[in-house]
Amino acid sequence: MQIIQIENVSKEFNKSTLFENVNISFDRGKIYGVVGPNGSGKSVLFKIICGFIQPDTGRLNFHSNFKQPKANFPNSCGIIIDRPAYIANKTGFENLKRLALIKNKISDDDIKETMNKVGLKWNLEQKVKHYSLGMKQKLSIAQAIMENQQLLILDEPFNGLDKDSVVAMRQLFTDLNKKEGKTIIFTSHNQEDIMSLSDTIYEINNQRISAYDEKTT
Amino acid sequence: MGEIKEMIQKNFLTNRLYILFVLTTLFIQTYNVSKDYQTITGSFYEQFYGLSKEGYNLYSYLFVTIIFLFPVAIFFNSLFIASKGDIYYQLIRFSSFKLWFYQLLRRILCHSFLTISILFIYTFLLTLLFEFPFTEHFNFNFYEISYHFLVNGFLQLLVYHLLFIIFICITKRTELILLNIGILVVLGLPLFNSDWIFPIALNSLGYITGGFHQPIHITLVLLIYIIVELLIINLVLSRKLLS
């Protein structure tokens, strides 16, 4: 089932063309890796998919389960955009709780369970400003998955993680995909992350986005 | 350079600094209230005189604009800057910009109500502390002062909050909050704003004397500004320009 179809999308950013007439699609239950050089527009593409930025031309079609006709943003979508984001003087749990209260559909226990899943101690009194980059990244991953989001759009989810954590997060994403059928779209500058996780890889190059490697799983 | 900017933003725009400023300046001002105004209503009037059609005092004008603009700046500082990009993670949990804005509006209403209430109660308690009598002045009474301070002060705070949102939507720069304050303070000066083109410091208690403006007239003006601001924000959000 196709959940996102990008049709003839073009986007300029700071007076330079990032993409021109992009036509790609994303199917449910698959993992997509997006690669491209720095500044090629991976983050902009993610922001367009999330609805934070509008394309100059073209359109995005979402499956009705994933976006209401008049909505700006897809529903059931977990994201990591730009960088880990947090309120510095709150604990990790407080940060997640604050976000969870917006939809108010998960319990404190769900938050604690998610923190355990990503390797963070939920009862740590440490404020996030004292977290290492890797811990902040894990917190970002936790907020992206804690509400059982079905579509995960993750910009550089492995940034700042140590070797063991990278392995653990890869396993977590694989489980979310294989066992729970979640769709994951992610970027990474690490070829190994891309190759080991992705069913399909899209490459942004010369203002085009194309699938350059279709793997069978 | 980035760290210095972050440090200035964090340390300069904090609730604690603002609260300290309010506590000390209002205390000192109450202590130094002119002899003619050493009553409860007179103390309110002199401290929040700001400006009027009859004239203005620069210190009083700056005091009234800053004391009402800074809590708004602090609010947006914590919302956009201190949250370090957290805004995306909030937005994605709403289905639209408008729903996000309605939730923000609820917070703005609470914030404005709390701010004006605390300012009123603290100023009132100071007048009791200094044992000022409850004598009415010949050209304004307590109810008039209270209405203008509370209702128009609340509406003025709403106007400032919405102006900040429009400013952020136009510039797409959340870190220019201090510049925003500077622009509003300058635009509110009578030199530029004799006909209330810009809704700045209309809650100045100076406006209730001289018979030029009734507080209810100012309420209507502020309400019109709020409606216009909401229409602008609605337009901006409908056109999905907030990115």
Optimal mutation site among A11, A14, A52, A90, interface B, most CBs of chain B within 10 A: A52
Q: Which of residues 124 through 163 in chain A touch B, CB cutoff 8 A?
A: 143, 147
Domain count, chain B: 1
pLDDT of residue B174: 67
Spatial distance between the Cα atoms of A47 and A43, rounded to a whole number of angstroms: 6
Query: What tens digit of pLDDT does each residue of A116-143 get?
Result: 999 998 888 899 989 999 999 999 999 9
The tally of CA atoms less than 13 A away on the side-chain side of residue A67 is 21
Inside any domain, residue B150: yes
ipTM of the complex: 0.90
Mutation site for A-interface testing, chosen from B89, B98, B234 by largest number of A Cβ within 10 Å: B89
Summarised one tens digit per residue, pLDDT across range A61-80 is 999 888 888 888 999 999 99
Q: B41 lies in a domain? A: yes
Q: Is B3 on the interface with A (CB under 8 A)?
A: no
B93 chain-A contacts, CB cut-off 8 A: 99, 102-103, 147
Residue B26 in any domain: the answer is yes
Number of H helices, E strands in chain A: 6, 9
Which of these, A209, A216, A213, A212, lies nearest to A6 by C-alpha position? A209
CA distance A66 to chain B (A): 11
Q: Three-class SS of residue A25?
A: strand
Q: Is B178 on the interface with A (CB under 8 A)?
A: no
Contact: B86, A47; criterion CB under 8 Å: no
Which amino acid, residue B157? Answer: L
- pLDDT truncated to tens, each residue of chain B (243 aa)? 444 454 445 544 567 788 888 899 999 999 988 888 888 999 999 999 998 877 778 899 999 998 999 899 888 877 776 665 678 898 899 988 889 899 999 999 999 999 999 999 999 999 999 988 887 776 778 888 999 999 999 999 999 999 998 888 777 776 677 788 888 888 888 888 877 788 899 999 988 875 656 889 999 999 999 999 999 998 888 765 554
Instruction: Report the residue from B83, B86, B96 with minimal CB separation from A73.
Output: B96
- Dist CA A62 CA B138 (whole Å): 68
Chain B: closest CA distance from residue A212 (Å):
30
Domains annotated on chain A, with CATH: 2-214 (3.40.50.300)
Question: CA angle, corner A28, sides to A25 and A32, nearest 5?
Answer: 60
Residue of A nearest to B88 (CA): A81
Residue B208's pLDDT is 84
Going from the C-alpha of A160 to that of each of A99, A149, A166, B193, the distances in angstroms are 23, 23, 9, 52
Q: Does any domain span residue B243?
A: no
Closest CA to A199 of A140, A5, A142, A182: A182
Instruction: Return residues 67-126 of B near A (CB < 8 Å).
Output: 82-97, 103
Tell me which chain A residue has its CA closest to the CA of residue B104. Answer: A102
Whole-model pTM over 0.90: no
Best of B10, B15, B83, B88 to mutate (most A CBs within 10 Å, chain A): B88
* A79 close to B (CB below 8 A): yes
Q: Choose the closest CB to A77 out of B85, B92, B96.
A: B92
End-to-end CA distance of chain B: give it in Å, rounded.
Answer: 25
| Strand runs labelled E in B93-141 | none
User: Which sign does the torsion angle of CA B184, B188, B191, B193 carry?
Assistant: positive
**Using the beta-carbon criterion (under 8 Å), do A81 and B243 form an inter-chain contact?**
no
Asked if the structure places residue B151 within a domain, the reply is: yes
CA-CA distance, B214 to B19, in Å (whole number)?
Answer: 31
Residues of A in contact with B85 (CB under 8 A): 81-83, 85
Size of interface A-B (CB pairs under 8 A): 64
Whole-number Å distance between alpha carbons of A114 and A99: 14
| Cβ atoms of residues A60 and A48 within 8 Å | yes
Segments of chain A scoring below 50 in pLDDT: 215-217
Question: Could you list the residue range(s) of the whole structural domain that residue B120 is in?
Answer: 2-238
- For residue A179, give every residue at least 6 positions away whose Cβ sits within 8 Å of its Cβ, in sequence order, or none: none
